[in-house]
Structure formats: structure tokens, C-alpha cells
Structure 1
Amino acid sequence: MSMSVDHVEDRYMLVGYANGGVAIIDVSEETVKDKKFECALRIPQGQAHDFGVTSLAWYTRDTGLFVSGGFDEVVKIWDTNKAEVAIEYKTKGKVYDIDVHKTSTLHNLVAAANGHVVSLYDANSGLRQHSLRGHQGTVNCVAWSVCEQYQLFSGGSDGTVRLWDVRQGASCLAFLSPEGKPWTSRKRRRTEHDGTASSSSKGDEAALLAHAKGVSCLRFTPDGRYLLSSGGDERVRLWNPVSCELEIVNYGAFPQARAAAYKKVQFDVSWSGKLLFHPCQNEVVVCDLASGNRISRLRGHVGTVKCCVAKPRGEDLFSGDQDANILVWTPNDRFLDGEEEVEVDVDNWSDSD
């Protein structure tokens, strides 16, 4: 399951289902307040995707176009008004994630994590540009830099988070390393060709890992100051996307219900940039982004929570589970204003479903 709320009108939410269907739901402020949600568009299985939809993204400038990707190895750009496919790309592997730059004025590239590569597609020409290669396993997630229009981050099952300049397809610019300093691709090449370093090659490879296990999701804070990564090691890490250095913040562990070969967990950050929302089994954990302190646990789902998304210009939160149930959470105003302290496990949010 995957969800995405548009950044233009802050009104429509894309929902992708495990059966291959796609829906657009009106989540405007009025509908959230009145608890009367309407499905503006529904595209059934087969017409949308043949298998599970893994990722959705709205077009940069309006809600007239959106992009979808799935396990059927297809990336589609949709005309929202006509509910028709405008452009379709056949990939050479399952599509695990897609991203569209939200503020770019220089390009309309769609980044897709499919197989062992990151593929770039031009939404203007409808042509496939080139692929970014280097991950030693499946590429699970991609995220465009908020501040640099041609910089892209990718995370893979090999545990690495890589920074790319999409104008240069030869190699990545840097690896995000928890050692405290980023590893550049040039530094790695020197290490590989240095005979004295061969005995410590395993240590060198470990230094490249952002997570002990595969990276499952990447998210920027709305202001672009920080990049967050989540991994199969049940940890969330906070990075400086400019220096590629790790910020020392401990969010604790986020255990999942059961292990799986492919485990996509979609987390999000509040529009204010102060809160982290992360699925944890059948609940959503709310953390203070700066300190890592756990503020609340949002309980209401019966099945495993697979994704959560915050409204771009508000604090409302939507969470979806493996049974395709979607819950809406509305925050306590006093809490958001910082007027009261909340202990862990105290639900300071209300279920508006």
C-alpha cells in the first residue's frame, strides 16, 4: 500500500493498493472535519496495474498528472482528468519506488527504483534518459534533493544510501556513512586499488553502510535541511544532505511484525518539520525530530501499518495498513503549541476515521 497527498491544493490523496488498483480521495480540511470522505477517482486492478502498486507521486505543478509504479514492472504517467495513461514505461524489474522533484524548474524527470538501478524518465518528451548503476542489490527507494535540482538520493537492499548528480551517470558522488564523514566514490576507488587497504576491505565496505540491513525509505524534511532514512535494521537515521554527515539522534527501534524479502515501510515528517511519523507493527510512533524523544503512539489499526503520510500544509496524518484500512489522525492543538508535555504511550491524537 502507498499514499501521497498533493502539494499544490493540499486536497487530494493518491492511494495505491496491493491488488493493483489506484484511488484518489478528497482529504480537504472540510472533509476531514466533517468525516465525509469522497473517492474522486477509482482505477481498478488491471487498468491501473496488474500487481501491487508500490509508489505514487503527484506531478510537480498541479494535480492534472500523477505517476504510479508497481510490481508489474511498469511506470505510468496518468492524466487525472481523463483517468487515462498519458505515458507508459516498461522497466526491466519490479518498481519499488518513484519520486518527482516538487520544486524543480529545470527538468521534469521521474526517478524510479527498479531492479538494481535507478531509471530516469523525462515526462516532457516521454523518453527514458539513462540509468544510475552501482547498488549491489535491489534499489528500494529514491528521493530528490529539495535544495539541489539535479541531486538524487537512493537507498538499496545493500544497506547503502548514495548521492547522485543525475547529469553524471558514471558513478555516485558520495555514500552516506554513519562513521561521521561521507565516503566519496573517488575515495572508494582509491581504497579498492590500494594494496595496503586490501586486508581491511570488509571494514571499508562496512563503513559505506548507512544501515546494517536494507534501506526501505528516504524522506526529506519540508525545508530540505535534513534527510531521514529507515532500514531493515529497524532504525531511523537523520542526515545532513549537504555535508552527507550523520546527525546524532536516537529514535529507538521500530520493530516490524514479521521479516520479509521485500518490506516497504513508508514514513513521513510533519509539515512543520518537528515531528516524525513512523509505522511500528500495528501502530504509528510519533517522535520529536530534533531530540528523538517518543511523544505518542497512535493505536487503532488491527493489521500491520505499511505507510503513513502527513498533509503538506497541516498536521493531519493518514495511515494505512495491510488490510487497506486508512485511519485519519488529528492532533491536539495544545500539544502542537508546546503547552503541555505528553508521556510515551499517551495518545494525544484522535482517530477521525
Structure 2
Amino acid sequence: MNQLLFERSTGAVSAQAFARLQTSRFVQAIQPAPRLRFDGGEKEVLPEADGNGDGGDDDGPSAPASRPKIWAHQAGANALAIDVDNRLLLSGGVDSSIKLWNLEECPNVAEHTFKPAAALSRKASAHRFGITHLSFYPFDSKAFLSSSYDHHLKLFATETQTVSADFDLNSIIYTHALSPIASHLLVACATQHQTLRLVDLRSGSSTHSLAGHQGALLSTAWSPRLEHVLASGGIDGTVRLWDVRKSSGALGILDMEDSTGIVGTDGMGRSARSRNVGKSHSAAVNGLTWTGDGCYIISAGHDNRVRVWDAATGSNTLASFGPTLKNSHLSNLPLIVCPTSSVTPKNEVLFYPNEKELLMFELHQGRLLKRLKVPGPNIAAVRSRNGERNVKNRITGVLWRGQADGVYSSHSDGQIRAWLPKTAEEMAIEREEDDTKKRPVDDTEEEQRKRQVLDNVYRDLTRQKISFG
């Protein structure tokens, strides 16, 4: 580190290169931050105490009254979104509630419990069923979108928490996407219907549909470089590319058997032979994202595979991520890649939600960098308006905050968890503080008593007169 600082001060390393090296180091140092908690204010329904007064395991569904449990959403958290300033966090629940959190509430504090800055209950949000996806307007934080299992896409005003527009698509909306760069306001919706639905926020209508998939769509994502290009994945195992300016919209299919690709004059294969057949995965595709520079597409499927595609040619780069992946839930799988501009070239890190753990991979080599275990039980008890039920605890949403401000995730046990970069020294200090807090008071008194006995023995020995014959 000292050598790097010296090279930066002498000009041997540019400011941009220095920032990238530092950010890469922070990404590698990401660890769980259990002291940052999110309390949605929902009270725990405590079980009746037994004859021994034992309420059960602290981490289980029967926590004792002295240790009330904290949830972001007691019925389970389904989705997360962060605004363009990396300041406001949105979370959506299984009970259709939506909550807004101010992440700048505790700058540079290692331990804090967040409270919602605003909250929309089930009645206020106007959604009847669970939230499937949330997203802020890409250019400011004054509006956000929510989609739900109740077939509705809604536009909210962030400040007043009121509904500005409501679109009924007559089909379950698994996810939606807004272009981060486009001047148009088209929202792509992946629904239970086999066509990709486009909603125009400017005109307030569903403009048209993109047909080609054979079955429901589970994922969609806009290119961060070409404002009219987007990708979609469905249960038919295909990833399709679209250009919304074309009448048919279709650009072609990504084929997992093709490692060469199709080269076109415009860099997207549109002026060359198009590919209309092939499979991207051997099972449903429910995860889809682009790298920040728009050069690569990442897809994940129920075949427990992740594939990296060259966006310019459509070729499979053959990156192998090993046999550790798990993916079987019929919902959108959130995939995130650290920003291309913030790390050294070709060293992007993919964060993959592997049910009860967050896996970090080298994107282009597929090498596993770190396994971050999610604390808590594998089966969690959650409460909704229908009563208490047990659910399999899994990661339901993941997002990246800023350049090196860590990762936040939502979980089916109702928690929102933070994963922040930590140095070895910071981790050692936290472990020492935890050990001090966990040390029983009786042990401390016992140590003091033993120390007092030794002091008395020492004093008695020094008082004795010693003679040498």
C-alpha cells in the first residue's frame, strides 16, 4: 500500500488507475456487516413462555422476549432498489408493503439500526399481492416504479408516496427494466405472457409487445450503451436481443453452442446473418444483466449455469463457474457486476445469490473468489395476514452501492443485510468487541477475585523477613 501511495505521489500511477486499484482492493475485502440492521417497526408476536421460562433459540422463530427480533419486512423481503445518488434504498415485501430507507443516516458508523424514512402499507401501496421488482427513475430520485404479482406496474412519487400512474398488464410481472441512458421512457416488463411488454411512461400506455419467446419471461435488461437495445430471458431457455426501433424488434438469439458469434457492421450483428434458433440455457433463464460498459451480457438459468456473452458478436465466451451454483426458484434472479469503470480492465466481479450464500466470481474466468455465508437459520418463520408460516431462507434481491460502498441484499426471512469492505484490522477489532460483549459478568468477577488472591500472596511474601545463615 505504501508503495502504491508513493507511486501515486510521484505520478507513476495515474489518478484513475489508483482509484481502480483501490476499488478492486475494497471489492475483495467485502464481508458481512451484521451490526447494520434494518428495523421496519413491525412488532414480534412472542410465543407463550414454557415452565422453564425458556423462549428457545435466539436465532429461531421462538426468540425470547428479552431479545425481540428485528425485521425490515416481517412477511419477507422480495426486492431492493437504490437511487442514482446512492442515498435512498427502497425495499418491497411479500405483503406488498414498500419502505424507503436513508442510507446516509449513519455515515461511517459500524453499528446502526435503520428506521424507515417512509413506508407504504399494503393498503397505501395499492398492490394486492407481493412486490416482484422495484426501480428508481434512472436520472433522479423523484419517482420510482413497482411491479407485483397482482399484474400491476405502478409509478410512485418518492416525496409524497402517491401513485402517479397505474398499468394493468393482465399477467404476473416478474420483473421490469428502465434504460439507464435512454431519452425514451419505455419500461420493459417480463411477464407470465410469452411476449415482452413495453410500457411508455410518457404517453401512459402499453405501446407494443415483442413476440418470439415460447412461454413466460422471467428476466429482462436494457443495454447501458445502446439506448434502443435490450435482452430478455424466458422459461424456453433462450436469451433474445431486441431493437425497439424495428417493426419486429428481433435481433436474434444467443446460442450456447456458438463460441464464434456473428459479426455485423454495427457491432450488434444486425447487418449480418441473424440467428433465430438455438438455446442459451438448457432450462429457464431467470437472471440477466450487462456489464457497465455494455460489452458483455451475463445470463443465469435453472440449469445451474452462468454464461457470459460477447454483446458485439453474440458469442459464448465459455467462462466456467463450476458446480457450486444453485438456481431453481420461479422468479427473477438478481445478478450484479461491480462497475466496469471502478476496477482494473477485465477484472469485474460477479455477485451471485446462491440461496443462503453470496458468491463472488471473477467474471471472465469464472474463478470463485469468496463465499459469503448468510447468517441465520435455513428455515425462517415469517408472519403475514394469513398467519405464521415457515419459508426457506434465500436471497431475493442484491444491489451495488456506489463505487466501493458495498452490497445490500434482501432475504425471504424479512431481513435486509449489508456487506461492506473491511480491512483485517477492522475485523480483528470487531471480533475483540464481540468477545467482550459475550463475556459473562461472572467470569469477569472471577478473574478479579483470582487477581486479588495473587496480590495478597505477593504482599504476604514481601512482608516476611528473610535471613541468610
When the two structures are superposed, what TM-score results if normalisation uses the length of structure 1?
Answer: 0.83
**Match of residue 407 from structure 2:** 317
Aligned equivalent of 2:337 = 269
In the alignment, which residue of structure 2 is the partner of 1:76? 154
Is the 8 Å Cα contact of residues 5 and 312 (structure 1) preserved in structure 2? no
The amino acid across from 1:40 in the alignment is: A
SS at match of 2:399: strand
Instruction: Select which of 24, 37, 40 maps to 2:117.
Output: 40
| Counterpart residue type for residue 396 of structure 2 | K
Contact 2:252 2:275 in 1 (8 A): no
Within 1, Cα distance between the matches of 2:274 and 2:178? 30
SS of the residue 1:247 aligns to? coil
Does residue 248 of the first structure (1) align with residue 332 of the second (2)?
no
Against the structure 1 CA distance between its residues 18 and 31, is the aligned structure 2 distance closer, same or farther, given a 3 Å change threshold?
Answer: farther
Give the equivalent residue in structure 2 for 1:109: 186
Aligned to 2:56: none
Larger Cα Rg: Structure 1 or Structure 2? 2
Indicate how the Cα distance of structure 1 residues 167 and 290 shifts in structure 2: closer, same or farther if over 3 A, else same. Answer: same
Alignment of 1:1-353 (within 5 A): 1-6=78-83, 8-28=84-104, 30-31=106-107, 33-36=109-112, 37-48=114-125, 49-104=127-182, 106-114=183-191, 115-179=193-257, 180-182=259-261, 187=274, 208-256=278-326, 259-260=328-329, 262-271=330-339, 272=342, 274-301=348-375, 302=377, 303-332=393-422
With 58-67 and 242-251 compared, the bigger mean Cα shift is at: 242-251
Who is 1:340 aligned against? none
Alignment check: 8 A CA contact 1:113 1:139 kept: yes
Q: Structure 1 residues 42 and 294 mapped into 2: Cα distance closer, same or farther (>3 Å)?
A: same
Matched to 1:14, the amino acid is L
**Between Structure 1 and Structure 2, which shows a larger proportion of strand residues?**
1
Q: CA deviation at 1:225?
A: 2.2
Query: 1:318 deviation in Å?
Result: 1.0
2:74 equivalent in structure 1? none
Alpha-carbon deviations, 1:164-200, whole Å to 9, x = none? 01122425111011122558897566xxxxxxxxxxx
Amino acid corresponding to residue 97 of structure 2 in structure 1? G
Unaligned regions of 5+ residues in structure 1, if any? Answer: 190-204, 335-346
Aligned partners of 1:21, 1:246: CA distance in 2, in Å?
Answer: 40
**TM-score, L = length of structure 2:** 0.63
Q: Is the 8 A contact 1:140 1:217 kept in 2?
A: yes
* Alpha carbons 1:214, 1:232 under 8 Å: kept: yes
Residues 14-40 of structure 1, C-alpha deviation per residue, up to 9 Å, x if partnerless? Answer: 211122111122223844634432322
SS of equivalent residue, structure 1 residue 173: strand
Q: CA deviation at 1:287?
A: 1.0
Distance of aligned partners of 1:182 and 1:32 in 2 relative to their CA distance in 1, 3 Å threshold: farther
CA distance 1:80–1:243, shift in 2 (3 Å): same
Bigger drift between 143-152 and 220-229 goes to 220-229
CA gap 1:116/1:31 in 2 versus in 1, 3 angstroms: farther
Aligned-pair RMSD on alpha carbons? Answer: 2.6
How far the C-alpha of 1:71 sits from its partner, in A, is 0.5
Q: 1:331: how far off?
A: 1.9
Q: Do the aligned partners of 2:251 and 2:274 also contact (CA within 8 Å) in 1?
A: no
Classify the secondary structure of the residue corresponding to 1:239.
Answer: strand
The SS at the match of 1:323 is: coil
Equivalent AA in structure 2 for residue 235 of structure 1: R
**Is the CA contact 2:358–2:374 (under 8 Å) kept in the aligned structure 1?**
no
